[in-house]
Amino acid sequence: MNSLVEYLWLIPTLPLLAAGLSALMKRPSRAASASLAIGSMVLAFFLSCAAFVKTLADPAARFTHNFDWFVLGETTFRLGWVLDPLTAAMLVMITFVGALIFIFSVGYMAHDDNFTRFFCFLSLFAAAMLGLVIANNLLLLFMCWELVGLASYLLIGFWYHKPSAAAAAKKAFITTRIGDVFFFLGILWLSAETGTLLFYDGGNGCLEQSALAKLVVQSTWIGMGVSTAIALLIFCGAIGKSGQVPLHVWLPDAMEGPTPVSALIHAATMVAAGVFLVARVYPLMEAVPAPNSQFSILNSQSALVSPLPQEREKAATPAEVSKPVDPAPAKTEGGADAETNRTVKAATNVLPLPGGEGRGEGERNAHGSTALQAVTWIGAITALFAALIAVAQTDIKRILAYSTVSQLGFMFIGLGTGGVAVGIFHLLTHAFFKALLFLGSGSVIHGCHEEQDIRRMGGLRKLMPVTFATYAIGMLALAGFPLLFSGFWSKDEILHAAWLWQPSKWPFLMGLTGAFLTAFYMTRQMWYVFFGTHRSAGVPARSDHQTPAASEEHHDHASSHVSAGGDAHTPHESPPVMTVPLGILAACAIFLSIFGTPVWPWFHSYLSGHAVHFTPSIELGTALVMFVSAVIALGGIWLGWTFYSRRGPKTAEEADPLETIQPSAFGWLRGKFYIDELYENSVIAWNAACARASRWLDDVVWDGVVRTVSLIALAISWVNRLIDEFIVNLGFDKGCGGFRSGARLLSLWQNGQVQRYLRVIGLALVLLGVIFIWGCK
């Protein structure tokens, strides 16, 4: 059975191959590139299903496959794959939703010139995302994380000739990069502290007891535990990627990309990567340093929805909270080999999930770790904040984008208060119905000839029946319509977990308000798009779109994307290649709910690895929260419906009824609380000021220094030349002249007159004789 995990790498490699081959294809080979991408996705889906079935057989097991990447001195860098229920569930979701979105794209992008490039990017994205999910190494995860960011950048800026799309792509890339810097710092710190970045490595991974035990007892200089600090740094990456406050600004702008991209990346998968990351490093997130330096590792899988209060209090006693699993017996022979002999290239381990025996007893710290509290608060703030903004938006995709931000906030509340299963269940259900909604909006946009402003839609339910039906299902799932739709169950679990959260009830209340607003704004959107009268018929031409009321919205249209035939003003239903994926996703949005009801919490059991119990009776608290959330959802839908069906605008230019009631508050919401403007005037202005100051510094100070130095050098060399020319050379020349004239004088002695020589000799002889004679006297 271990052979499967060794071939887990095939799942991301298939789309990667498809991407590489599409990149080599010529532009006209549309069918080939599309079928390659879809085929690789479908194959990956089947492989993922195989992996899923394998984990179904034994949900408690975690399969890892580690191998040496490279050796640097004494250090060996090791990568690996991990297969556990979390991975398997994500794999199936990504490949399934991805394949459907690929199929949808064939229809949506049918008229785009760069069809092959689009599928190349989509496949690249899928490969990176799948790699991220199977990674058993934080560094490998980070690499895929960045690749996902790159693919996102490429796809948001796919219509790069639109300035708004190019700007949105840059914004998305840079904003997420801010979080990634902190994420990377966390990775480095974790690597420095534990010496490994493998998650699970037969007891030596950074998420296992020995490493965490080392981390929680240390503390940083501000008194925070090292584990908490690292967890918070890693969470910063998740904030950036998952569009949480304060780094949420890129996600709504990312809607400039083609709609399938919005569906795949910015609703279903990529933004969920942050949630997945937190779920993956959950053992680190929930590691709590005990006051007396004893560590206690909380059990991620045991944090279930329905622990009775007395059980939880019992669990808070130290004896039960810290149940470290002895790693030694957990190792199989392969794992032991890998530890004793580093030259073994690969080792496949089968490990039981940590804390296996304590599972399901509700052992959970009543207060949660600092990191999880941060996760909860960020999630709660985002959930409410984004839901508020979504109420006032008029762009069909922007509403969904803010809704995504809000739902991601819900997921973080779920992770922070309820554990992995709660957050991830909402992630999965949300992926299906949000992909459905985005594809539905894509169908609407396609049918309305690239119209994105909901004020210019209306009455589409008769013109686009299939889209309407599927969109309604998605909307009801997102709004949390009771009992029938998956969104209700997953959101209800989050609210229930938040209700039971000890530190504060505020996240529960904020989540509740967010849920109410979600129901309201989705109803508003439904009414605007599908009900009432069609409002764009009165608008004569597209050039008229830039009305003052709508001027703040983006109305750039892809010039290359020419609408397919037909009357330019009559919306039409989309072709089957687009509606069939919608239908499949709609079915999933409904039927996924059966896996996570409180009566039969199969999904939680699967993720946490213990047997599922069918409990026909529901506890009072659960039922109460369920009732409240149902009332809230129904209330939101009812309010939105009555409000808009009675007072909804009849023409595109008419103001929103909410705007007429509360113009200033509505303006704030429509302006997205002016966060963009705030950043523009604070961070970006500050950054620009810094850049200007740097430029001034460079121009005036450093350049001045350089210029002064060069002037000094010039002056010195000028003086040098003077000295050389007029002092050194002058003396030398004079000396030379003297020598020459002296030599000329001396040369007169030798005039070739032999007799004169002789005369001199004679005289000298006489002189010598005289001296001699005179000396002898």
Partner 1 sequence: MTPLHYYLLLSALLFSIGLAGALTRRNAILVLIGIELMLNAANLNFIAFWRFSPNPEALHGVMFVIFAIAVAAAEAAVGLALTIAIYRHYRTTNLDQVDSMKG
Binding stretches for partner 1 (CB under 8 A): 746-755, 758-759, 762
**Nearer residue to partner 1 within complex by CB, 591 or 757:** 757
Cβ of residue 777: shortest distance to partner 1, in angstroms?
A: 19
Tokens 């895929």 label which residue? Answer: 144
* DSSP state, residue 257: S
Cβ of residue 765: shortest distance to partner 1, in angstroms?
A: 9
Exposed, middle or buried by CB within 10 Å (0-12, 13-18, 19+), for 367?
middle
Nearest to 263 by CA among 494, 100, 478: 100
Nearest to 85 by CA among 60, 66, 65: 60
Tokens 């505020």 label which residue? Answer: 506
Secondary structure element (H or E) that encloses residue 215, with its range: helix 209-217
Sheet with 61-72: strands ordered across: 75-83, 61-72, 346-352
105 token code pair = 């794209």
**Nearer residue to partner 1 within complex by CB, 543 or 755:** 755
Residue pair 302/363 in contact (Cβ under 8 Å)? The answer is yes
Query: CA 510 to CA 233: how far, in whole Å?
Result: 25
3-class SS of residue 293? coil
Cβ of residue 757: shortest distance to partner 1, in angstroms?
A: 10
**Nearer residue to partner 1 within complex by CB, 465 or 737:** 737
Residues 6+ apart with CB under 8 A from 254: 152, 156, 168, 169, 171, 172, 262, 265, 266, 401
Cβ of residue 736: shortest distance to partner 1, in angstroms?
A: 18
Query: Which residues face 352 on adjacent strands?
Result: 61
Cβ of residue 773: shortest distance to partner 1, in angstroms?
A: 14
169 token code pair = 């792509």
**Nearer residue to partner 1 within complex by CB, 543 or 747:** 747
Cβ of residue 734: shortest distance to partner 1, in angstroms?
A: 23
**Nearer residue to partner 1 within complex by CB, 31 or 758:** 758
**Nearer residue to partner 1 within complex by CB, 709 or 768:** 768
Helices (H), 592-702: 602-608, 620-647, 657-661, 663-670, 675-679, 685-696
38 token code pair = 């879809």
DSSP 733-770: HHHHHHHHHHHHHHHTT--S-HHHHHHHHHHHHHHHHH
Q: What length is written for the chain?
A: 777
**Nearer residue to partner 1 within complex by CB, 620 or 748:** 748
**CB crowding 18-37: b at 16 or more within 10 Å, else e:** bbebbeebeeeebeebbebb
**Nearer residue to partner 1 within complex by CB, 650 or 759:** 759
**Nearer residue to partner 1 within complex by CB, 293 or 741:** 741
* DSSP state, residue 453: B
**Nearer residue to partner 1 within complex by CB, 484 or 768:** 768
Angle between helices 486-500 and 396-418 (to 10 degrees): 40
Cβ of residue 712: shortest distance to partner 1, in angstroms?
A: 51
Query: CA 281 to CA 284: how far, in whole Å?
Result: 5
Query: CA 275 to CA 476: how far, in whole Å?
Result: 23
Query: CA 219 to CA 229: how far, in whole Å?
Result: 9
Cβ of residue 774: shortest distance to partner 1, in angstroms?
A: 19
Cβ of residue 759: shortest distance to partner 1, in angstroms?
A: 5
**Nearer residue to partner 1 within complex by CB, 222 or 773:** 773
Query: CA 157 to CA 170: how far, in whole Å?
Result: 8
Cβ of residue 711: shortest distance to partner 1, in angstroms?
A: 53
**Nearer residue to partner 1 within complex by CB, 221 or 749:** 749
Cβ of residue 742: shortest distance to partner 1, in angstroms?
A: 12
Cβ of residue 760: shortest distance to partner 1, in angstroms?
A: 10
**Nearer residue to partner 1 within complex by CB, 631 or 770:** 770
Cβ of residue 747: shortest distance to partner 1, in angstroms?
A: 3
Asked whether the CA dihedral 473, 550, 457, 162 is positive or negative, the reply is negative
Amino acid letter for position 372: L
Strands (E), 549-662: none
